[in-house]
Structure 1
Amino acid sequence: MSLKNTTIPAAVIMSCLAQPLLANETIPSIQLEQDTETVIITTSRFESDVNQLPSHVTVITKQEIERLSATDLSQVLRRVPGVQVSNTNGKTSVSMRGISAEQAGSNVLVLVDGQRLNKTDLASPDIDTINIIDIERIEIIQGAGSSLYGDQAVAGVINIITRSGKKQTKTLRYAQGSFEQKQAAANLGFQLDEQWSVVLKGNKKTTDNYRDHNELKNNQLGAELFYQDNQQQWRFSHRTRNETQQTPGALLDSDLGNPRQSRPEFANDYVSTDEYFSRVFGQLKLNSQWQFALDINHQESDIQSINSFINFATSNVNQTRRSQSGIYPRIKGDWNTDNGPMQWIAGIDYDKAEYQFSLLARSNEQTSESVYSQFYWPLSTKLQLELAGRLAEVEDQLSDAALYPQGIVLDKSASAYDIGFSYQLSGATKSFIRYSNNYRFAKVDEQAYTSDGVLGLEPQTGISIEAGVSGQFESSSLQASVYQLKLKDEIIFDPSATPPAGAFFPGANVNGSESTRLGLLLDYRYFIDESEVGVSYHWVDAEIDSSERIVPGVSENTVTSWFDWQLTSDISWFLEAHHRGDRYQDGDTTNSFAKVDAYTILNSALVWRFDNARLGLRVDNLLDKEYIDYAQFNGYYPAKGRDVIITFDLVF
């Protein structure tokens, strides 16, 4: 197989991608699930006690994001054990629990205020478009969430909660840094009367990025109207995004002497996106025991792009159009018992998506329907049982010029269930054990490129078993767990599979062999007055069972350690060391390509607070280390060099 042929599958797959402040603040670092006062949404799709779910829940607060002087989500998520961050062409993907970056968009569910960012094609959730100053907190559920969230919640759920109008906070940001980075952003909350409030938000960002031919221009506007009284709350949201980005493409090994370059065949490549999101969310208190919630959302995107391959330039302008709508009614019942509160949640999820891709005359109309239920039962004052389950069906009406020119209807179904126990060892220490069944359905790109004679891929299914302990002590905190994630009929692209008739590159999407991931997660923090020393660690042994080969794209060891020091009441300094171990290139199921080397980088941030202003200086890759962030089929994507950015925020 020639090098040219081995790089084309990656390019073809990727061608489908869319592409009030106080001076004496103390450190409010990452809140672990043992914080009994933390109320979160992601564990039940209602506001709930963080201790309920027998799993690790990480809550990252707005205050911690500010202390990191963070300007994008990758800087924040990199610290969370079990999370691996990769970057291609200036776009970030987030994987969890031994899932590769290539598969992350299909197996890790990303939400913004409960609205899905995951797509029905192979495009990854675009977390780079989320403005940091809009975020109130980030809730991360480690482990399978299929019972509660259905498709794609195999390895975990990341829910980004944005600010509401209730706090009336107004934030203005200006940022400028390396690679011609400039950003002007606003998040303005206003209280209209006792019940009504509004948030207006905007973001304008430009950068050349690190690579040549990688200029990005992003403009966003949004508005949210809130109503709340003693019995109900409503949220009406709308936001738009217009973005144009040049895409520098992959490099060959021989090109890496100049990692900033872009090969000449990518000189005309770009992605231009127009997108909007709308959402209506309401929650009503029916009586002292029952609540009802209704979530209706819709999103559309119109994408133009030119996508060349290594050694094969093209000038064809591709059109991709997506439309996704969801209706999610649900109820919650609460009852007091001698052992504590008992809770039952049930709901219906209805999703409809339409997709068109001009290059391959590919289109799809997908309808998904499911019902789910979740039950929390306190067996004693310390021991709680969780039971949950979901039944789901999906129908794809698919057309593809090569494989299904006359169209085909594919019907699939799947189920998920959880059983878990959490035990309160003391007021601030908890242990848990959980068994989960999970699934995901094949995406449109996967269904439309299968081996000759294969009419649709079966749903991927899996079993997750995890156990852990967490606790907060007088001057420290600990969060540790072990897990096994076993996937059956895993949906992957296999370059050695028989391609469909008329294919112009080798390989096909297949239901692969079983794979098993054994892992350990650790998060330890030690507090010194208002300062913090911490380390997070993820070890995973990810193997393809039939061959005992290593799952590609997965590092066995990932470690992040940091020191967050409150120098004075107004100044804090943060230093972080992040290490990611070597791994096989994404897509390399035979483990036959050269490995991607391990790397260690240093990141630092300095923050000054005065009156109602905040000045931040952040430096990523402090030592200007050259390393590869992502590689697939001998196509390499170099990471950024030293990246310096200054932020100035006004908060009033």
Structure 2
Amino acid sequence: MRLTSIPALAAMILPLSPATAPGEEEEDELQPLVVEADRHSVLPEHFAGSATVIDREKIAKSGVRSVADLLATQGGIRLTNTSGNASDSTVHLRGFGENASSRVLVLIDGRPVNRPDMAGVSWLEAPVARLERVEILRGSQSARFGDNAVGGVINLVTRGGSTESTVLEGAGGSDGYTLARISHRSLIDGHGITFDAERNFTDGWRDNAFSELETAALRWDKQLADWIDADLGVSWADERGGFPGPLTKQRYLLDPRQSIYAQSGQAHLYFSEQTRWTADGTLTFGKAGGPTIEVPLSIYQRDLAWNFGPGYHTDNLLNTYTLSPRFGITGDSWSAEAGISLRRDTLELSQFAEIQRRNRTTDASLERDIAGIFAGAEWEPWKYWHLSTSARWEHSSVGADARSYRFPANPALNFARETDESNSAFQAGVRWEGARDVSAWLRYDRLYRLPSTDEIASYQGYPLTVPFNDRLRAETGDNVELGAEWTPGAWTLRVNGFAQWLEGEIAYDYLQNLNVNLADTRRLGLETTLGYQAGIWDAALHFTALQSEFRSGTYEGKEVYLVPNRELTATLGCRPKDWLSLQAEYQYVGDAFEGNDFQNTREKLPSYGVANFLVRYEPKPGLSLYCRINNLFDERYATVKYSGIWYPAAGRQVLIGIRREL
């Protein structure tokens, strides 16, 4: 294991203020208390459901590399990946295994960032230094947010407000890991300026699993008049990463760090590089307590070069445009909103026979348009009781045009087709807050999830039995939540039960070589959260028991593969001194049937338990040094397995960092 030192960055950060010995008192000027509004929050004040908020303090003290690590250690969310790098992970909520990234909606400041294809979100796209907090809403939210939200919603809220701040952070560690972050917020004559930049690199725990990111963002916000607020921003990211590939069981047990592509001398043909640009802005008209009109607009572009072995070298240009104006009004005991949502995705794809991209083999273009209307309301008809309801209707259309220059007569690779459909969703909830420390809720959801472009069309050189499956429809269903929370003093206890039924769940049928509305499914689960925070102790435990099975068709009664029945995440923090804090983390995931095991007869993906440890030393307020050890006991495990082929997860990794906040 090799460690990368960070003396240069430490030398830059440490002189920013004089050193103070542990326990030594110093005179600090008291800063005025500023109460900020919930900027870009999507969590209702009286949410009829189970939610987790990771606040700014927990983020600052987490010592994590990416948002994915933060979600796992602080949010109790299960991650899977095929490279061994957590930043490439897929998040799983509510018993979804394969293609879970299409069933969890990810927002940045309330704006969706999910891709129209099956590609997951890059968790390095929103650097940790940029975050104010993270909101996790578990359970279907289709009526409020539309597509992708059948398992839940994760909202990443970036920094803003009326507080000036500067954060500098650097870290180094095993596997060539280096990190440099800067985040700065200034207020100049009423103009709010926020700047963030980050460089994040690792050679990867596995061979050919390197990951490199450079990103920068700039935001401006200002109150243009008593009744007009503006918020505009641009961001850029350049990312590169390798593909280590799967291993047979024999290779996995012999050396999980190896890559079959590196072993064959072809690692240079298995990697991706992409550049992303985002521009977004919001104009808000109205005053607090009165009617408001909010007009958010965003433009996203991803230019991706994908290299997946000889003959599979693809350039993919994705453009996404979203516009979602909404009108809101608030009364003494009620609030309501309504609006429209518009989204357009365009993909231009070219495939080449060699990495030098001289001989073009395929051209394809896709367009997806989604237009809808939505409305929602919340009110308090009686004391202690809060009712909420939302409804949404959307129409979606997908068109694809693919041309193969190598096989121009093959109808599976040459087609021009389109399809469209309409869907609706509804949500109704009630929350009771009869005492200061007790609450309970009940919610019903009618939901849907649109098929992704990859599920419909075979346009990337991987022929499906039906090249454009216009018979594939959205999966629809129902969800019911029932839960309660008790917060006596320093304790928090939350229990939430749920049942979800999906009609025509979409899955890849390897026997047909086609994505189909395979069967109806049912998911039953119980989520429990226990927390304690007092004195020098801070502890939390999240446990989920889940049953996920097919309810119709050939596989009726069989469990859905890649879905464990048990998940547990626990953290224990201790601050014995004002300048020292320790934190232990543990995540356990039960066994699950491997990918494509519809009959539940093959060797399972084994259960695993991973422990992490973090120590922080704070010689003075705003300055901290930390050491994080992930997978403390060097557990050998895999989070994904298909048909006997394993994708190993990372072993022990050590990170040492320094953080300065002004």
TM range (shorter): 0.7 to 0.9
**In 1, are the aligned partners of 2:580 and 2:618 still within 8 Å (CA)?**
yes
| Ranges in structure 1 where 5+ consecutive residues have no aligned partner | 1-19, 25-36, 309-313, 498-506
User: What's the TM-score, normalizing by structure 1?
Assistant: 0.88
Aligned to 1:426: 435
Structure 1 residues 559 and 65: alpha-carbon distance in aligned structure 2, compared to 1, 3 A threshold = same
Deviates more, 1:446-455 or 1:120-129: 446-455
Q: Which residue of 1 aligns with 2:475?
A: 460
1:187 partnered with 2:183:
yes
**1:86 offset after TM fit, Å?**
1.0
Matching residue of 2:249? 253
* Cα displacement (A) at 1:622: 0.3
Could you tell me which residue of structure 2 aligns to residue 119 of structure 1? 115
- State the secondary structure of the residue aligned to 1:489: strand
Equivalent residue in structure 2 for 1:603, among 584, 592, 612? 612
Q: Deviations over 1:236-266 (max 9, x none)?
A: 1111111111211111112111100000355
The answer for the alignment partner of 1:475 in structure 2 is 490
| Alignment of 1:594 onto 2:631 | no
C-alpha distance in structure 2 between counterparts of 1:632 and 1:604, whole Å:
31
Paired with 2:37 and 2:160, the residues of 1 have a C-alpha distance of: 17
1:525 and 2:531 correspond: yes
Quick one: structure 1 residues 388 and 84, their matched pair in 2 at CA, closer, same or farther if it must change by over 3 Å?
same
CA contact (8 A) 2:182 2:198 kept: yes
Task: Summarize the alignment of residues 147-162 of structure 1 with structure 2, pairs less than 5 Å apart.
Answer: 147-162=143-158
Pairwise CA distance, 1:564: 0.6
CA drift of 1:79 comes to 4.3
CA contact (8 A) 2:226 2:287 kept: no
CA contact (8 A) 2:536 2:576 kept: no
**Distance in 2 between the 1:105 and 1:362 partners?**
24
State the shift of 1:43 in Å.
Answer: 3.8
Q: 2: CA distance between counterparts of 1:243 and 1:41? A: 27
The match for 1:13 is none
- The residue correspondences of 1:526-545 to structure 2 (distance < 5 A) are 526-545=532-551
Matches for 1:262-277 after TM superposition, within 5 Å: 262-264=259-261, 265=264, 267=267, 268-277=269-278
CA contact (8 A) 2:164 2:185 kept: yes
Change (3 A) 1:227 1:633: farther
Give the Cα–Cα distance (whole angstroms) in 1 for the partners of residues 435 and 227 of structure 2. 34
Q: Distance in 2 between matches of 1:241 and 1:467?
A: 41
Contact preservation (8 Å) 1:165, 1:191: no
- 1:264-301 CA distances to partner (integer Å, 9 max, x unpaired)? 35522000101111100122225742111111001011
Aligned to 1:353: 345
Contact 1:171 1:188 in 2 (8 A): yes
Deviation at 1:321, TM superposition (A): 1.3
The alignment status of 1:515 with 2:511, answered yes or no, reads no
- Counterpart-to-counterpart distance in 2, 1:581 and 1:133: 32
Contact 1:251–1:263 under 8 Å retained in 2: yes
Residue in structure 2 matched with residue 563 of structure 1 by the alignment:
572
Q: 1:171 aligns with which of 150, 156, 167?
A: 167
Q: Which ranges of 4 or more aligned residues in structure 1 deviate by more than 6 Å?
A: 20-24
CA deviations 1:591-622 (Å, max 9, x no partner) are: 34321110111111011123331111111100
Q: Using the alignment, how far apart are the partners of 1:236 and 1:278 within structure 2?
A: 8
Q: Name the CA distance, whole Å, in 1 between partners of 2:385 and 2:141.
A: 21
Give CA-to-partner distance per residue, 1:443-462, whole Å, 9 cap, x none.
11111146549534111101
Aligned to 2:559: 550
Matched to 1:634, the amino acid is: G
Change (3 A) 1:403 1:378: farther
Kept in 1, the 8 Å contact 2:42–2:155? The answer is no
Partner residue in 2 for 1:303: 304
The alpha-carbon deviation at position 96 of structure 1 amounts to: 0.2
Q: 2:337, 2:643 → 1: CA distance?
A: 45
Q: Which residue of 2 aligns with 1:88?
A: 82
Q: Identity over the aligned pairs, expressed in percent?
A: 22
For the pair 1:65 / 2:31, whether they are aligned, the reply is no
Deviations 1:5-30 (A, max 9, x none): xxxxxxxxxxxxxxx99999xxxxxx
Query: What secondary structure does 2:395 align onto?
Result: strand
Cα 1:633–1:167 change in 2 (3 A) is farther
Q: CA deviation at 1:375?
A: 1.1
The range that moved more, 288-297 or 508-517, is 288-297
In 1: Cα distance, 2:74 partner to 2:427 partner: 24
Deviation at 1:53, TM superposition (A): 2.0
Is the CA contact (8 Å cut-off) linking 1:69 and 1:606 kept in structure 2? no
Alignment match of 2:130 (pick from 126, 129, 134): 134
1:235 corresponds to which residue?
231
Contact 1:81 1:522 in 2 (8 A): no
The 2-side partners of 1:647 and 1:54 are apart by 39
The 3-state SS of whatever aligns with 2:124 is: helix
Q: What per-residue deviation string (whole Å, max 9, x for no partner) do you get for residues 141-167 of structure 1? A: 111111111011111000000111532
Change (3 A) 1:454 1:224: closer
CA shift digits 1:461-490 (9 cap, x unpaired): 011101100122112011110001111111
Q: How far apart, CA to CA, are the structure 1 residues paired with 2:600 and 2:277?
A: 41
How far is 1:410 from its partner? 0.6
The aligned residue for residue 224 of structure 1 is 219
Cα deviation 1:211-237 (Å, max 9, x = unaligned): 111222211111111113653332111
In the alignment, residue 273 of structure 1 is paired with which amino acid? Answer: Q
What do the CA deviations read for 1:29-70 (whole angstroms, capped 9, x no partner)? xxxxxxxx99475446xxx52xx2211121111111223222
Q: Residues 85 and 569 of structure 1: is their aligned pair in 2 closer, same or farther, counting only changes over 3 Å?
A: same
One-letter code of the match for 2:592? R
For residues 396 and 487 of structure 2, the distance between their equivalents in structure 1, rounded to whole angstroms, comes to 43
Q: Distance in 2 between matches of 1:512 and 1:80?
A: 35
Distance in 1, Cα, partners of 2:75 & 2:641? 22
Contact 2:451 2:474 in 1 (8 A): yes
Deviation at 1:629, TM superposition (A): 2.1
Q: Which of 580-589 and 550-559 deviates more?
A: 580-589
Q: State the alpha-carbon separation in 2 of the partners of residues 540 and 78 from structure 1.
A: 18
Is the Cα–Cα contact under 8 Å of residues 286 and 292 in structure 1 kept in the other structure?
A: no
Contact 1:117–1:126 (Cα < 8 Å) also in 2: no
CA separation in 2, counterparts of 1:135 and 1:213?
Answer: 30
**Distance in 1 (alpha carbons) for counterparts of 2:63 and 2:469:** 50
Q: Which residue of 1 aligns with 2:4?
A: none
Structure 2 alignment gaps of length 5 or more: 1-15, 24-35, 352-361, 404-410, 459-463
Change in Cα spacing, 1:40 to 1:296, as seen in structure 2 (3 Å) is closer
Max radius of gyration: which structure? 2
Measured after TM superposition, the shift of residue 315 of structure 1 is: 4.4
Q: 1:599 to 1:246 in 2, by over 3 A?
A: same
Q: What TM-score do the two structures reach when normalised by structure 2?
A: 0.86
Q: Deviations over 1:174-232 (max 9, x none)?
A: 11011000011110111111x21101111111110101112222111111111136533
2:282 equivalent in structure 1: 281
**Are 2:290 and 2:330, in contact at CA under 8 Å, matched by a contact in 1?**
yes
Aligned amino acid, residue 135 of structure 2? E
Judge conservation of contact 2:336–2:376 (CA < 8 Å) in 1: yes
Instruction: Report how many residues are paired.
Output: 596
1:311 corresponds in structure 2 to: none
* TM-superposed deviation, 1:532: 1.6
- Select 1:441's aligned residue among 447, 450, 453: 450
Q: What is the deviation of 1:80?
A: 6.0
- Secondary structure of 1:445's counterpart equals helix
Counterparts of 1:574 and 1:81, CA distance in 2: 15
Aligned 1:565-580 pairs, distance under 5 A: 565-580=574-589
Residue 317 of structure 1: aligned partner: 313
One-letter code of the match for 1:199? T
